[in-house]
Amino acid sequence: MPRRIQPGNRPVFIVIVDDSTANLKLYAKLAAGVEPNVAVQTFSDPRKALAWMAENVPDLVISDYKMPTMHGADFTRRVRALAHGADVPIVVVTAYADRDFRIEALEAGASDFLQSPVDYSEFQTRARNLLRLGRHQRAIRDHASALARELAESEKSRDQLVRESREWLAQVIDTVPAMVSATDTEGNRIFVNAYEAELLRHVAADGGLSDAARRHRQTLDRQVLDTGRALEAYEETLRDAAGTERTFVTAKAPLRDAKGVTVGVLTTSLDITERKRAEARLLFEAQHDHLTSLPNRAHLYERLRLEMAAAEPRAFALHFIDLDRFKYVNDGLGHHVGDRLLQDAAQRLLAIVAAGDVVARLSGDEFAILQSGAENSADAAALANRINQVLAEPFMIDGREVASTASVGVTLFPRDGRSPDDLLQNADLAMYRVKGSGRNGFAFFAGEMLSQAREAIRLQSSLRRALENEEFVLFYQPQIDLGTGRVIGAEALIRWQSRTDGLISPAGFLRVAEDTGLMQKIDQWVLREACRQARAWCDRLPAPVRISVNLSPLRFSTHTFYDMVMQELQASDLRPDLLGIELTEEVLLQRSPAAAADLDALHARGVRLSIDDFGTGYSSLARLTSLHVDTLKIDRSFVTGLEDANNVAIVRAVVSLGRALNMEVLAEGVENAFQMEQVRAAGCDAVQGYYTGHPMDARRFEAFMRGAGSAPPGAGPAGAGKLGGGD
């Protein structure tokens, strides 16, 4: 016989069966906290659990459904087949979608279910209730056994024992945390336990059931009376007096008299409202983004599928939205600022869409809008333009103004695809077209984008080989002092000498390098090669040449930037004052404290810092006054448009700003004599452009420097001679 130690002399045994070691440890820890005197037995193999239970009587069994050697329903049947297993509470753990498995486990004799992944509080509450229920069942059985013994001892005490047994049974049933009631063959209630009576006091006057639900109950009762068989458990809802719906699992069985004749129906209902709420919460979490509470990609995908599968599908637009340079916000200002930016962006998008539209967060900094009312491209363009407008407005986060823009790709159904995958892919391609064109805008999908995407994939593979095969080269463009006409430095410009496509400019590959994570390796190569070449010219040229390099904005967000620069300077034995680093206004605006410290430390070592393309970003005067910057480089767009008086005024204003902050001002993109005279008249200190020297490889630049005996065209004081050897 299996061992069962008398109550008070043994712990409460909880058996846990799961083939996952992690689940066994988790469930064992949760089970140990259910009651003070719990002993947990864990088994990864259900067969070993059955062997143990053949010799021991557990108080509660918790089993996973999907196990390699035996599924939960079969395991439950075998437990029930044990001599002492008929009334052992069994909880089966299933995944949300496993409804058929739950039904099979119910039929096998499972007492309850838990949703995986389990809610810790729900686990312990259910275990505690089932242990209490088990004690009640054992009490009933023990009372019945005692009654049998007493009946055997004395026939005279039978009537008294029966009455006491009924009272005990009624008391036990009254303490069961479930509704228990009985009706006769006419539908009249003949018994209601205390739990149900208390609940009925708080339900609506109609009993909490709709007319249809009440008729359904009566039909089921008649079915039990007619067949004499119990019904499978089913779910039903009851509305309390506050209007809140509560869900129950209800079972019905025949109530028989001493002769076995069915005289009524016994109904038991277990409240599973909290479990249903947990399932609804899990379903919401599975279909929504936890940060913004927007629908996620899976939800959007299903909505797209339903829109397309409608009997009469309507035209709609899909907007694929990517926040520009979001990584700089995350790395420079911290992930908490990035999270706030995403949440605020989500609210702005929700504020501009129409009823019936769907705003979703796909991943990271990517959003999407299903515009259900877009009848044509004009409707879609209007919303896309509005998206750009609202996301371009600065965000105020923790008292800090954070600038952001968005690139939006737009597809139209059915023109641009007839499946969710096609529409999402094509909208993504259109979005990348905007990225490649300067960001902050929108574009509709066009057929040639597919071929361009395939070309981008080919380019990615070639780029990786280019690093391995050392196919990159640096070109050097001279920077000329307008006062003396002498070369004061050069900007290092990367080129790709492809073995298949020839010489490729940065515009042809840097965007792909950023997208594929190759920029850090390319940055390090540029810095190393520039330092090496500058040091070589110190030995070969009459005077050393200061080399300026452009690095990816992503590089400044790392904590190793200072160490990387100093390592390359030391490896090449180059003086720090012969290296210049060019920064974009965006890097300066959103730089992190760590990046600021690195830049300040490099400047203190002698490395020169320049703001590149000044005037095109978001720099503020307050920020400029706190920077250790040596040079402002006026963007070529202002120099090219010097025929416009507004651009002349901008150039003069930048020069005045540089003077006030004790910074050198260099004009980029000077291509003709008119522009040269204009920037000289505005007061610029130096120039760089095709008019004074094209970018050259190292050999030609060295020859250019050896021939620099006088100023290039228009450089230097009035009447200065022409510098030979330039491109």
**Does the pLDDT at position 320 exceed 80?**
yes
**Does the pLDDT at position 208 exceed 80?**
no
**Does the pLDDT at position 644 exceed 50?**
yes
CA-closest candidate to residue 207, choices 174, 240, 182: 240
**HSE-CB of 5 using CA atoms within 13 angstroms:** 6
- pTM as predicted: 0.48
**Does the pLDDT at position 694 exceed 80?**
yes
pLDDT at 157: 56
Q: What's the average model confidence in pLDDT over 222-237? A: 88
**Amino acid identity, position 418:** R
Residue 612 class from Cβ within 10 Å (0-12 exposed, 13-18 middle, 19+ buried)? buried
For residue range 249-261, list pLDDT tens digits in order.
889 999 888 888 9
CA-closest candidate to residue 180, choices 169, 191, 167: 191
**Does the pLDDT at position 191 exceed 60?**
yes
CA-closest candidate to residue 480, choices 702, 240, 689, 233: 689
Query: How far apart are the C-alpha atoms of 346 and 351, rounded to whole Å?
Result: 9
pLDDT at 148: 65
Query: How far apart are the C-alpha atoms of 30 and 33, rounded to whole Å?
Result: 5
User: Which residue would you say has higher pLDDT here, 115 or 629?
Assistant: 629
Least confident window among 564-568, 600-604, 685-689, 721-725: 721-725
Query: How far apart are the C-alpha atoms of 483 and 684, rounded to whole Å?
Result: 9
Tell me the C-alpha to C-alpha distance, in Å, between residue 344 and each of 241, 299, 335, 351, 658.
Answer: 40, 21, 14, 11, 36
Instruction: Please provide the DSSP assignment of 467-502 as one string.
Output: HHHT-EEEEEEEEEETTT--EEEEEEEEEEEETTTE
Least confident window among 87-91, 240-244, 493-497: 240-244
pLDDT at 351: 95
Q: How many residues does the chain have?
A: 727
Q: How far is CA 198 from the centre of its chain?
A: 46
Q: For residue 687, count other CB atoms closer than 10 A to its CB.
A: 27
User: Which residue would you say has higher pLDDT here, 726 or 178?
Assistant: 178
pLDDT at 567: 94
**Does the pLDDT at position 366 exceed 90?**
yes
Residue 613 region by backbone torsions, left for phi larger than 0, else alpha for psi between -120 and 50, else beta: left
Identify whether the C-beta of residue 307 lies closer than 8 Å to the C-beta of residue 372. yes
Q: What's the average model confidence in pLDDT over 472-476? A: 95
pLDDT at 458: 75
Give the model's confidence band at 615: pLDDT under 50 very low, under 70 low, under 90 confident, else very high.
low
**Does the pLDDT at position 403 exceed 60?**
yes
The three-class DSSP label of residue 506 is helix
Give the model's confidence band at 721: pLDDT under 50 very low, under 70 low, under 90 confident, else very high.
very low
pLDDT at 204: 46
pLDDT at 293: 92
Helices (H), 6-71: 21-32, 46-55
User: Which residue would you say has higher pLDDT here, 241 or 582?
Assistant: 582
Least confident window among 139-153, 241-255, 378-392, 652-666: 139-153
Least confident window among 328-332, 456-460, 640-644: 456-460
**Does the pLDDT at position 579 exceed 60?**
yes
**Does the pLDDT at position 212 exceed 90?**
no
Long-range contacts of 499-505 (CB under 8 A, 24+ apart): 499/469, 499/471, 500/462, 501/462
Go through the domains of the chain in sequence order and give each one's CATH number.
Answer: 1-175 (3.40.50.2300), 178-284 (3.30.450.20), 288-446 (3.30.70.270), 462-705 (3.20.20.450)
**Does the pLDDT at position 564 exceed 80?**
yes
User: Which residue would you say has higher pLDDT here, 583 or 566?
Assistant: 566
**Does the pLDDT at position 716 exceed 90?**
no
User: Which residue would you say has higher pLDDT here, 465 or 595?
Assistant: 465
Query: How far apart are the C-alpha atoms of 116 and 218, rounded to whole Å?
Result: 35
**Does the pLDDT at position 709 exceed 60?**
no
**Does the pLDDT at position 38 exceed 70?**
yes
**Does the pLDDT at position 719 exceed 50?**
no
Query: How far apart are the C-alpha atoms of 726 and 477, rounded to whole Å?
Result: 10
Give the model's confidence band at 270: pLDDT under 50 very low, under 70 low, under 90 confident, else very high.
confident
pLDDT at 382: 94
Give the model's confidence band at 246: pLDDT under 50 very low, under 70 low, under 90 confident, else very high.
confident
For residue range 419-439, list pLDDT tens digits in order.
999 999 999 999 988 987 788
Average pLDDT, the chain: 84
For residue range 506-562, list pLDDT tens digits in order.
877 887 787 777 888 899 999 999 999 999 999 999 899 999 999 887 677 666 889
Give the model's confidence band at 718: pLDDT under 50 very low, under 70 low, under 90 confident, else very high.
very low
Of all residues in the chain, what percent carry a pLDDT higher than 90?
39
Identify whether the C-beta of residue 710 lies closer than 8 Å to the C-beta of residue 484. no
pLDDT at 292: 94
Tell me the C-alpha to C-alpha distance, in Å, between residue 604 and each of 576, 591, 609, 632.
Answer: 10, 18, 11, 18
CA-closest candidate to residue 345, choices 390, 293, 409: 390
Least confident window among 462-471, 542-551, 573-582: 462-471
Q: Both tokens of residue 41?
A: 């037995």
pLDDT at 595: 75
Least confident window among 19-28, 44-53, 163-172, 230-239: 163-172
Query: How far apart are the C-alpha atoms of 288 and 361, rounded to whole Å?
Result: 8
Identify whether the C-beta of residue 632 lies closer than 8 Å to the C-beta of residue 580. no
